[in-house]
Amino acid sequence: MLPVNSFSILSIISSNRLSGPGAAALQQATLLAETGHNLTFACLPGKNLADRARAAGLQVDTSLSLPRKGELWQLPGDVRQIREMITEKQINLVMVHQTIETATTAVAVGSKVPLIRIFHSGLDKPLGWANRLFFKLFPVVAIATSPAGGRALGRSALTPDGERIILPGAVDSKAFNPEIDGSAMRKELGFKDADPVVGIVSRWKAGRGLGDFLKAFAMAKAKEPRLQALLIGRGEGRQALVEKVASLKLADSVVFCSPEERFREALAVMDMGALMRPGSDGTARAALEMMAIGKPLALMKQGSLADLTGLPDLPATIICNNIEEMADALVSYAGEASLRERYSNNARALIESCHTLAHLSDALGSLCARAIAQKWGIRVR
């Protein structure tokens, strides 16, 4: 039998950003390294992602080009380097996270070592024909980071046994907890004690549903005048959002905040949270972090957000089909402290039941062991 903590693993991500798939890939790689695997993390050069990976104690390689803008002439060099890494480091398993490294690595490894593609989409959008053809031509194991992503992958996500493996979204439930005090920051931001504050965490850019959130907030505020909004994030779309706030006559009720190292404190400022899109890492990480702190959430019924509904007798969030339902949910939360407390407790309980780092670590360990066992026909303990 092969011990599960003796694998040499190469994880490749065509990113240098500590956000979206890059952040999720680093989280997974760190957990695998912490459980004893010899992990090499290959990413694009740059400060954020590579530096954080080094700080986490990972072996970092930034030599691959991984072109994403059509520089196809760079691919043969990447294929050669990947083959060299696999030989020199005696790699047992390769994990890839986006399209360019999937195609490049598939050519490089062929059927020599197991290749796992992690899909970081949290939407229900099915795979296109090109991806479906790719999974027929190459021996790649497709794994999703949410049930919604798994449904989108369809048959491509099924194991030889007909099972669909999901790597759960995970949050550090010790670092994100209901004991975090946001009262000082709440005063700094100008919110009164009696103001019910709804927060939303998202990069300020098009495609994140922030315009629809502001419309829902305006509808809710017309029914509950005390309601205030906190937009947590950063990005190039701030000015457009400021103009949207002004057009809705909400300038006195919407606060923008880029908290950086005070992020957890900013989450604690809010009385309730909202989210319109699951985000690019597919796990709805912002929702998981708010839930871990114990914030009652109103979520649009889109992709992996709808996976966070909880159980019928223990609802963890309010799932909304449209902005009118979102507005009604915010009004309900604002007016009923007992409702907020119930959803707060259920949200935290859902995190602890299946979205902790320990749950993700166990799922990763099992996935890697099974992939290698199926490849070589060996028993893994």
Q: Residue 46's pLDDT band (boundaries 50, 70, 90)?
A: confident
Write down the pLDDT at residue 2: 42
The answer to whether residue 231 scores a pLDDT higher than 90 is yes
| Overall average pLDDT of the 314-324 stretch | 97
Question: For 185-226, how does the pLDDT look when each residue is reduced to its tens digit (9 = 90+)?
Answer: 999 999 999 999 999 999 999 989 999 999 999 999 999 999
How does pLDDT run across 117-127, given as a tens digit for each residue? Answer: 999 989 888 87
CA dist., res. 61 & res. 121, Å (int): 25
- Neighbouring C-alpha atoms within 13 Å toward the C-beta of 192: 7
What are the structure tokens assigned to 151, written together? 């449904």
SS3 95: strand
157 phi, psi to nearest 5 deg: -95, 0
pTM of the model: 0.92
At 256-271, the pLDDT tens digits run 999 989 999 999 999 9
Q: How many residues does the chain have?
A: 381
pLDDT at 172 over 60: yes
Q: Is the pLDDT of residue 20 over 50?
A: yes
* Helix, strand, coil abundance in the chain, percent, nearest 5: 45, 15, 35
Q: How confident is the model at residue 127, as a pLDDT?
A: 78
**Region 332-345 average pLDDT:** 97
Please give the mean pLDDT across all residues of the chain. Answer: 91
Mean pLDDT of 76-104: 94
